[in-house]
Amino acid sequence: MTLSAQQPGFSLVEIIIAMLVLTMGLLALAASTGYVATQIRAANLRGERAFAVEQVVERLRATPFDNLASREQGAAENVGSFRVWWSIDSPSQHLRQITLVSQGPGYRQGTGWTPNASDTLSFSVLRPFR
């Protein structure tokens, strides 16, 4: 009985190579899962921070121009899991420059997760014309 070289099917070497390729792909997929989970959590915290800052900014913009006052870090406002404070400069009688600082949990590339990540936002408020 002779075996034909034209027999259909895969050789053992082909199966081993296919298994190695599949294993490498699955390992790469598993390794990237941790990175994706970290980025999703960081994005959620950025969204929460943006919401907290937006609430404070809208309230400051709704405050009458002459009643705008700074708030020191010791008297920071708590919005969710973030602390927010601001300082106000008056370059002219018709303009207020507000520098708002938010502090809370966050992720920084290179340093990782931190409970006290700070971000700063500056905006201006003009005195309404009468």
Distance CA(98)–CA(101), nearest Å, equals 10
3-state secondary structure (DSSP) of residue 8: coil
Percent above pLDDT 90 for the chain:
78
pTM: 0.74
Distance CA(92)–CA(99), nearest Å, equals 16
- Cα-based distances in Å from 42 to 13, 36, 52, 57, 125: 44, 10, 15, 22, 31
Q: Is the pLDDT of residue 4 over 90?
A: no
Q: Which amino acid is at 17?
A: I
Question: Taking the domains of the chain in order of start, what are their residue ranges?
Answer: 12-126
Largest CA distance in the chain: 107
For the segment 24-70, what is each residue's pLDDT rounded down to a tens digit?
999 999 989 988 998 999 999 999 999 999 999 999 999 999 999 99
- Cα-based distances in Å from 92 to 16, 81, 98, 121, 125: 76, 35, 13, 20, 11
Mean per-residue pLDDT, 6-12: 81
**Of 100, 77, 102, nearest to 87 (Cα)?**
100
Distance CA(21)–CA(106), nearest Å, equals 37
Q: Is the pLDDT of residue 5 over 70?
A: no
> What is the average pLDDT value for the chain, to the nearest integer?
91
